Structure 1
Amino acid sequence: METLLNEWLWQEEYWLPPGIRWQDIEMEEDEGHFPLPRDLICTLPLAFAFIAFRYVFERLIAAPLSKYLGVKDRIQIRAPSVPKLEAFYKQNSRQPSQSEVVSLAKQCGISHRKTQTWFKHRRNQDRPSSTKKFCEASWRFVFYLVAFIAGLASLINTPWFWDHRECWRGYPIQPVAEAHYWYYTLEMGFYLSLLLCVSVDVKRKDFKEQVIHHIATIFLIGFSYCANYVRVGTLVMLVHDSSDFLLESAKMFHYAVWTRTCDTLFVIFAVVFLVTRLVVFPGRVVHSTLVVSLEFFQPFFGYYFFNALLLVLQALHIFWAYLILRMVYKFMFLGKVERDERSDEESEVDDDEKGEEKLEEDGDECSWEKKKGAINSKLASLANNCVLNNLTNQRNINSRLPKAR
């Protein structure tokens, strides 16, 4: 197995610039530590450790904090037990077509309207609670904040933090500091844990983009470490962490309905995101890897692969920037952030349900108009009868008066 890996995977032309061999980058212990692929083996058990720690954190810290901040869950009406509808819901579709609703109604012996209502209530049952969303956001907030502070502390005194040309000076013979090694392993372990939990976390509208982002990030961290792109890789991670904790904090206050605090944090996040992801990242980091690096070595496979992953991330940045600008537009012209454009898919009222609610309202209005017309007609007839009775009684009295005289 080792021979196969050395022959196919660890070929020098994949990982090293032309003219550099594996023997050239070997270092003595006193010279520093050169990154090796086996260093990243610990990231998998670290990911499971993150999942276990997250489980404890959400229940012992995040859940009580949500109650303290006033997070309230909406009371959902549970759908009655109908085995055939439940089987169709889980195996076929959560939103059946009109013909499927008619067929299911006949099979179950219930009305068309009750079948539609059942699916509506059943979808509501699967919507994540505000407490669950708050706990997820608070977990990510804590990690991103700690990672940003630790990363900034480990990089602020390095020469490549201020001059990006230093990222490539002497490449690939660049020793890795212990702090940067742990920065890498913790980040990769965390994103592995997110990828492992993506099926049970709140599903959002950008679910596919999130999965692509996690996979690209894991490949980017792993490949950049093995190819000793550690210096520029630490800058990439720091740029991402600088705005992520602001977004998660804004979500936390959104679920707690602290509207003013949420809006303030969102505006700060939007400014930081747009500056770091659309200006700093492409203008400094991507430009450094695409252009500046060629002053120090000739392009090779690792150069193209690493830059391709960075460009995938940049494409996702542009997509998310579009969503954020839409929210900024709503904030400026509507006066508040109505909802997160990346909000969870289950919590959004779909178009079919909106149409059903509209039809229900229209039907109620029509039935009320009919009832109102019937009541008015009865009142009118009753009033006419009262008038006729009064007139009749008056005539009877008038006819009796002469006799009495």
Structure 2
Amino acid sequence: MLSEWFWWDRLWLPRPVMWADLQDGEGCVYARVSHLYITLPVAVLLLGLRALYERLIAVPLAEALGVRDKSRKRASHNPVLEKYYKTHSKHPTQADIKGVCKKLGWSERQVERWFRIRRNQDRPGVLKKFKEASWRFAFYLCSSFGGVLALYDKPWFYDLREVWAGFPKQTLLDSQYWYYIIEISFYGSLLFSVAADVKRKDFKEQLVHHWATLTLLSFSWCANYIRIGTLVMLVHDTSDVLLESAKMFNYAGWETTCNSIFVVFALVFMVTRLIVFPFWLIHCTWVYPLDQFEPFFGYYFFNVMLVVLLLLHMFWATLILRMVKKFLFGNLKGDERSDEEEDMEGSEEDYMHTNGYANGSGTGLSNGH
């Protein structure tokens, strides 16, 4: 019953088209849900390919560009603070700090410094960031070229009204099949690796983006919104190539190159995500279909998902503009989304005293009082 309701014709297709009308035959092949089953093993395959790429290409490239992790101070061993750090919070409240101070006999400054060092100790090194950016750069570069090759000779690449010509009875092309499968698998692999990847300030927004993208791509596949789907993918991938390359040069310390690429990226992002995407692609999905059929659930759902992506674009645009402001005033030092290391306030003597206390008279309290 639930399956019949979910696949009800009127949810996915405009009147009077039925699923029975979209049967393969006479040289026509239509998108099927079963086609997407392969994306799971391909996503796993991409994770393996990423591991090989990082080891065989990204690491040697990082060494050639002079990318190295900085040595970091390690927080002194203290079971009480370590337990609080792992089970309660990495950012203790002032009240909790005072309570720990009484328990350990430390000053508030010493406890605050211990947590700062401990947080920095867990932050990903620049080499890990470089490898991740390098992998994404390689993928987006390949997918952008693949997208252009799949679309350059199609009429809907130049005339958006052609997106809806004959919809939904539009035969599936081999180029469209592989473009979708690889793209869906890639975003699936990002969800699989999200726990191990670098967590930035926009971590939640990134998760929403990945889920929205997967939902949008999967729905567009099942409802045969494939022509517009390929255009949306190409618009997104082109600016991501520049972003990831700018990150790579930033981690390598090539400031001038990084800033130059970032300026180009900012321009491309604003044009593709805030002009082309809403005023061409969303307009194409919102206005042109109504010339051929009445609105239905799939029409509204697809457009709502596109608007969700647009809102995320606007959020990231504010971060980009903030970075552009820093660039213009000569204060651009990194990715606005990055979780940078915290400054080590306090003198070296304070830290040495903390170490001494933890290894000396404070040991008894740390072990159970």
Are 1:243 and 1:273, in contact at CA under 8 Å, matched by a contact in 2?
yes
TM-score if structure 1 supplies the norm length?
0.83
- In structure 2, the partner of 1:17 is 14
> Residue 217 of structure 2 is aligned with which of 218, 221, 225?
221
Q: Distance in 1 between matches of 2:284 and 2:18?
A: 24
In structure 2, what residue type is equivalent to 1:327?
A: M
Deviation of the 1:4 alpha carbon: 4.4
In structure 1, what residue type is equivalent to 2:213?
A: T
Q: Distance in 2 between matches of 1:335 and 1:105?
A: 41
Q: Which has the higher contact order (CA 8 A, sep 6+)?
A: 2
Deviation of the 1:133 alpha carbon: 0.3
Q: Is the helix fraction higher in 1 or 2?
A: 1
Residue by residue, what CA displacement relative to the aligned partner does 1:37-80 show, whole Å, maximum 9, x if unpaired?
Answer: 11001111111111121122112211121111011222111112
- Aligned pairs for 1:231-380 within 5 A: 231-332=227-328, 334-335=329-330, 337-343=332-338, 345=339, 347-349=340-342, 357=345
Deviation of the 1:339 alpha carbon: 2.1
Deviation of the 1:146 alpha carbon: 0.1
Are 2:23 and 2:29, in contact at CA under 8 Å, matched by a contact in 1?
no
- In structure 1, the partner of 2:101 is 105
Q: Distance in 2 between matches of 1:4 and 1:314?
A: 32
- In structure 2, the partner of 1:377 is none
Deviation of the 1:111 alpha carbon: 4.2
Are 1:263 and 1:336, in contact at CA under 8 Å, matched by a contact in 2?
no
Larger radius of gyration: 1
> Residue 27 of structure 1 is aligned with which of 21, 24, 29?
24
Where structure 1 has 5 or more consecutive residues not aligned to the other structure, the ranges are 364-405
> Which deviates more from structure 2 when the two are superposed, residues 83-92 or residues 59-68?
59-68
Alignment pair present for 1:120 and 2:116: yes
Are 2:323 and 2:332, in contact at CA under 8 Å, matched by a contact in 1?
yes
Deviation of the 1:298 alpha carbon: 1.3
Q: Root-mean-square deviation (CA), in Å?
A: 1.7
In structure 2, what residue type is equivalent to 1:115?
A: V
Alignment pair present for 1:176 and 2:184: no
Are 1:15 and 1:301, in contact at CA under 8 Å, matched by a contact in 2?
yes
Alignment pair present for 1:134 and 2:130: yes
Deviation of the 1:110 alpha carbon: 4.0
Alignment pair present for 1:191 and 2:187: yes
Deviation of the 1:297 alpha carbon: 1.6
> Cα–Cα, structure 1 residues 100 and 336, in superposed 2: closer, same or farther, change >3 Å?
closer
Q: Distance in 1 between matches of 2:8 and 2:280?
A: 30
> Residue 45 of structure 2 is aligned with which of 35, 49, 64?
49
TM-score if structure 2 supplies the norm length?
0.91
Deviation of the 1:176 alpha carbon: 0.9
